[in-house]
Structure 1
């Protein structure tokens, strides 16, 4: 008699797992900038915050190597395998297409057999360091949305630094250090991204996780973990993106951390596979990269949902009466109020903060959103339906949540630290950004919450 019930429950659990697996992507888009609505005065535009879809950004970059003659093949050279110094049958010859390894092979289609890759000259000038700078430039501000992944065809470097620029390569700051021995290489204590908290998310760390020699296939990759950092606010499976968007909306340093115009990979020491360099077989030591992945979107300040690549340059197709490569200023004759970046809040539409015509008077409309919201204080931050204040908070005039003692945040989603000791939440180190009532922001989120309740029975 229980079998039908159990089978039905199993089907529900399966559906829940599938739905939750795809849940984060469903509300990570902000892909519509405006839509027509009916008001008491007739048809009007309802403006919303919007951003382009995330995509593979390596299709739009320029790559530069320093020193420029560091690529192998001129003159031709024979290489030995790192794991077997007597297996020396790999030739690099820049004048022969089948034997050449130019930089563009770091960004071509993966899955070919044999694998294509860029390769440096060997360490033939040892003990002079074999160092290479690989600079990736977009000539456009980019927002990173996924891990940066480098795949090495040779052993992974024993010392490496990933750097970023926000000003088109004029200045650089480290993103992360990589070494087999962080203390020896950079005088830094080794850490991993799992050691970071909400409070220390912007810290620059040195990790030893990606600097071992090539042993197994999965030992060929080096990562800069974007999603693990997102998860400090959005939860382990990124289900609570509202919390992350709230933080990005109010914390410029956090937005800037995930924003770049250029990346630089500083290869400082190749894999040696041992404590000592074999000076009799220096052709074993070199760098070779088969793939670089950079996933992101054009930064358009939430004023565009598309970005075009025209005449070798990326540019936002600006909405909301804005203009410029990043939609960072108002169009001519639309300076009725100061330009402002769009806002992710309130979920799910955000606030457009559109530019309005010069000398535009007060807006008297049944639905003021047809002109966007001039500032964040005018946005509907909370209500008693979809945008509930959490953890016992109450909504005050749709403008802000009055939080219960011990909680803070736009929607009271973070636990405050109590006293001088450590916070109770071991993940955040400061405050849990995951709201206890997660999934009640919009219709999809409400459905997801019901599915989660069903999942607890599984």
Structure 2
């Protein structure tokens, strides 16, 4: 009976086991299929090689043949997806090498191996049960056994055989639940995935996948556990099952995907390190750094057989389970590729076990992590999904083999690329062929580039051929012209310059600028006409600007005809150029038109059809070009101009006319040039010096261009006339008509220079010593307080004279006809600036800048100047100057002027006293002499107060306090109006003091009202209606007011000798 019971129990257990294994096994195969689909997708997204199929073809060697066929069909699908990816760029712009099993190149180690310390028995965890008799599922581990089947070293995990590595069982100690496998890949790789296939034991229940760059410091790639609870317990993080979308490229998670105990043998783990991360398809720098490793570590920390209430716990007792608790690994595959920074698609073995990138994109280095020596025009950048970021070649013109990127060179725009564009920061190193510079574009000192020689010529630079004594250290690098020392001249500086002599070209005694030609080295210097001195080195009195180009040596001082002495002005060169506010006109400036602007070029253009009645049109320069142009004497006016001629074969021809016309405020009109131009554009270079200039007669209103007449040419312009025009230019006209068939005039640019020294050794601008009444570099303007009177002159000069104004030196100029002064300065007013302005005092007739001083009443500060006017006062404090009102305006009667500087403020406001409103009047307080202070009324209800603090001295109206701001005790009301006596009813109030504001007395319990003079809660009067006058009794005693002849408290009885009590009282 007992045997029969065990038999059926055994059958039941077998059936249950078969059902469980079948169910879980089916689920496992479905999951494995989903995993492999994920692996294939992973390969496709990162471009792994089809060689990985060798791992797929080898897995599940102990499965059934039907499973094998299905697996082969799966591998065929993977090959179809992977093969095309190995032949093209990955992720768009960059290049990446193929993915291969880098574990094959690794050295592998483990900290524990079954049988390493002697024979060890173990048993499989496959369909085991203590009540069921079955074939032996146990074996022996012995690392020293000659039988290879009993040896399970760690190398079996990567040797591509069907053998496996196995750890000691925990029957040898619980420490063997923690086993670590370490792979040294030999060099850095980018790791993309991990595949592990277990041997004769289940997959680990919990483990960690780690990486390291140096073999010392390891960081986790991913955690694994059998459940989310185990993730929390072991690693302190939430568990995730299935495909996970990472939030960032470096996120580390705990996965439960491979945490099931089944299958009990040959279980597989497939982990992608890249898929699902944000940068998976962009090759981000963050994901590249995260996936790089040389050392890979797999740390097993938990077995399924040791998990309480686990799915196999019911199978065996604890002792039997200990022999069946171990790890085994048949294969470890690590998908990786060489780290080539996105610049290589091949990685070759240069030595056994060492792979190196075959760099492209002009990159170099073991990891293509730098630009090749001659390709550093731009900073190095790794390739990414959209951009190859190839290294750009430096432009060294063939004279250097290496360069470097310099950010300062880039920022300053000093480098050109191979296209000749200013771009990048490439700086050539060790320039050859005697070149130097950022791009080897220059010649070294002592060398030059001949004209027409390109920078990339094989021999771009030649040595300078300069005389060793006559030239400085090097020649001009462009063309080779020698730079001569003082005293030498010639292309090679091999002969003495004018004014020098001898082998060393020493300077002659005579100044070449002022000496007659040929006599510079004579013993006695022969000076030019307007030069003097023993060495002919200074201008004669009345002359300036000593120059070798002037035949007379020096230029005569102009000084507007009023000065006789001048020197050369030291001014800097300046330019004036503006495209704004140009206009069009005719010669007489009787018509005005406006040009248009070309927004592309900025040029101004004008159609001549807009002025059909005018033969010659002119451009009118804006005011910025006009005014005082004496500083431009000897300088240039450069104008770029063009014109459009009607198309077709016409009979038209070029015209002549003045190139420029200057009109002075003195009425003179002078012009320069009358050239004929065959082209349709030109650049006019006009020197502002009298040579070649001529007068334009007033009678000429237009220039008849078709006849080429020259009636516009008048007398030559003298220096004095030219200077007088430049002293105040009213308008400048630029020629706009150049052809009889012209339809349009175009102004491209106009530049006015000042301070140039092109025509002379020194500036031609004079600095005169002006007489009283004149000012300016050439005494061209009247000094302050003077006015110009123009005089008629047959020489066109019309210089005029400056005469003093009767303005007491307080106005810049005045009207010559009326004598009225221009705007009075120095705080004065009046037609002759002979009065101090309101708010000021003094004697304006003294003619000094500070004659009129601001009234300080008592301070000049606006906040403390309380009187709008003041006046001088006599020593006896009696004013001698009075303000008089005439036509509503105040002015000062100056009939009696005092020399004293004291003054009195005349309009101190109420509350202020003293000569300067510096004190407060009686009834006021404050500090008006302190900024921000003022005089305020005493707040004492009409009583006096302290003049500074405002504290009340005497309080009126029954008040008290600092400012009499409250009523005295026993008084009430408004302190400003005076306080009233409280008048509290003596019997009805507690005291005679009431509320100081309302006047309410403090009442006893039986009294009320303001003065406590009314009864509160008192009994009724009960006065007799017939005997009392009103029915109202005394509010204290209750006594009624009785009629005649009536008495009693209530008026209810007749007095003695009275009778007949009734409505009329008693009789």
TM range (shorter): 0.5 to 0.7
State how far apart, in whole Å, the 2-side matches of 1:259 and 1:107 are: 20
Q: CA deviation at 1:345?
A: 1.6
Number of the residue aligned with 1:38: none
Identify which of 318, 339, 351 aligns with 1:278.
318
- Counterparts of residues 289-328 of structure 1 (less than 5 Å): 289-309=329-349, 310-328=351-369
Q: CA deviation at 1:260?
A: 2.5
Question: Do 1:131 and 1:266's aligned partners in 2 also have CA atoms closer than 8 Å?
Answer: yes
Unaligned runs of 5+ in 2: 1-75, 131-135, 395-401, 405-414, 427-1067
- Counterparts of residues 356-435 of structure 1 (less than 5 Å): 356=394, 357-358=402-403, 361-364=416-419
State how far apart, in whole Å, the 1-side matches of 2:322 and 2:80 are: 49
The alignment partner of 2:238 has SS state of coil
Number of the residue aligned with 1:82: 125
State how far apart, in whole Å, the 2-side matches of 1:355 and 1:362 are: 8
User: What do the CA deviations read for 1:44-65 (whole angstroms, capped 9, x no partner)?
Assistant: xxxx742211222222112122
The alignment partner of 2:276 has SS state of helix
Number of the residue aligned with 1:211: 259
Number of the residue aligned with 1:256: 289
Identify which of 185, 192, 203 aligns with 1:156.
203
User: What do the CA deviations read for 1:86-128 (whole angstroms, capped 9, x no partner)?
Assistant: 6453222223223211111111225xxxx31011112134344
Identify which of 106, 111, 119 aligns with 1:61.
106
Higher helix share: 1
State how far apart, in whole Å, the 2-side matches of 1:20 and 1:160 are: 28
Q: CA deviation at 1:313?
A: 2.1
Number of the residue aligned with 1:171: 217
The alignment partner of 1:121 has SS state of coil
Identify which of 166, 191, 208 aligns with 1:119.
166
- Whether 1:189 and 2:227 are equivalent positions in the alignment is no
CA distance 1:216–1:24, change in 2 (3 Å): same
Unaligned runs of 5+ in 1: 1-17, 33-47, 234-243, 372-458
Question: Do 1:142 and 1:298's aligned partners in 2 also have CA atoms closer than 8 Å?
Answer: yes
The alignment partner of 2:118 has SS state of coil
State how far apart, in whole Å, the 2-side matches of 1:57 and 1:336 are: 36
The alignment partner of 1:254 has SS state of helix
User: What do the CA deviations read for 1:271-320 (whole angstroms, capped 9, x no partner)?
Assistant: 31751682455221111000112122111112222222314322223334
Q: CA deviation at 1:79?
A: 1.0
CA distance 1:21–1:223, change in 2 (3 Å): closer
User: What do the CA deviations read for 1:380-418 (whole angstroms, capped 9, x no partner)?
Assistant: xxxxxxxxxxxxxxxxxxxxxxxxxxxxxxxxxxxxxxx
State how far apart, in whole Å, the 1-side matches of 2:261 and 2:172 are: 21
User: What do the CA deviations read for 1:345-399 (whole angstroms, capped 9, x no partner)?
Assistant: 24xxx33235654178412189x9xx9xxxxxxxxxxxxxxxxxxxxxxxxxxxx
Question: Do 2:195 and 2:271's aligned partners in 1 also have CA atoms closer than 8 Å?
Answer: yes
State how far apart, in whole Å, the 2-side matches of 1:339 and 1:168 are: 26
Number of the residue aligned with 2:1038: none
Q: Which range is displaced more, 170-179 or 276-285? A: 276-285
- Counterparts of residues 115-154 of structure 1 (less than 5 Å): 115-128=162-175, 130-145=177-192, 147-153=193-199, 154=201
- Counterparts of residues 228-267 of structure 1 (less than 5 Å): 228-229=275-276, 244-245=280-281, 247-248=282-283, 251-267=284-300
State how far apart, in whole Å, the 2-side matches of 1:286 and 1:198 are: 33
CA distance 1:21–1:306, change in 2 (3 Å): closer
Identify which of 265, 268, 271 aligns with 1:221.
268
Question: Do 2:107 and 2:184's aligned partners in 1 also have CA atoms closer than 8 Å?
Answer: yes
Q: CA deviation at 1:29?
A: 5.5
Q: CA deviation at 1:184?
A: 2.6
Q: Which has the higher contact order (CA 8 A, sep 6+)?
A: 1
State how far apart, in whole Å, the 2-side matches of 1:224 and 1:23 are: 19
The alignment partner of 1:253 has SS state of helix
The alignment partner of 2:345 has SS state of coil
The alignment partner of 1:272 has SS state of helix
Q: CA deviation at 1:336?
A: 4.8
TM-score normalised by the chain length of structure 2: 0.27
Q: Which range is displaced more, 96-105 or 330-339? A: 330-339
Question: Do 2:100 and 2:337's aligned partners in 1 also have CA atoms closer than 8 Å?
Answer: yes
Aligned length: 309
CA distance 1:198–1:271, change in 2 (3 Å): closer
Question: Do 1:72 and 1:121's aligned partners in 2 also have CA atoms closer than 8 Å?
Answer: yes
State how far apart, in whole Å, the 2-side matches of 1:286 and 1:216 are: 12
Number of the residue aligned with 1:340: 381
Number of the residue aligned with 1:93: 142
User: What do the CA deviations read for 1:245-291 (whole angstroms, capped 9, x no partner)?
Assistant: 3x32xx32223233332211001122317516824552211110001
Number of the residue aligned with 2:301: 268
Question: Do 2:143 and 2:151's aligned partners in 1 also have CA atoms closer than 8 Å?
Answer: yes
Question: Do 1:106 and 1:117's aligned partners in 2 also have CA atoms closer than 8 Å?
Answer: yes
State how far apart, in whole Å, the 1-side matches of 2:367 and 2:348 are: 12
State how far apart, in whole Å, the 2-side matches of 1:280 and 1:76 are: 18
CA distance 1:329–1:183, change in 2 (3 Å): same
State how far apart, in whole Å, the 2-side matches of 1:178 and 1:205 are: 8
CA distance 1:217–1:333, change in 2 (3 Å): same
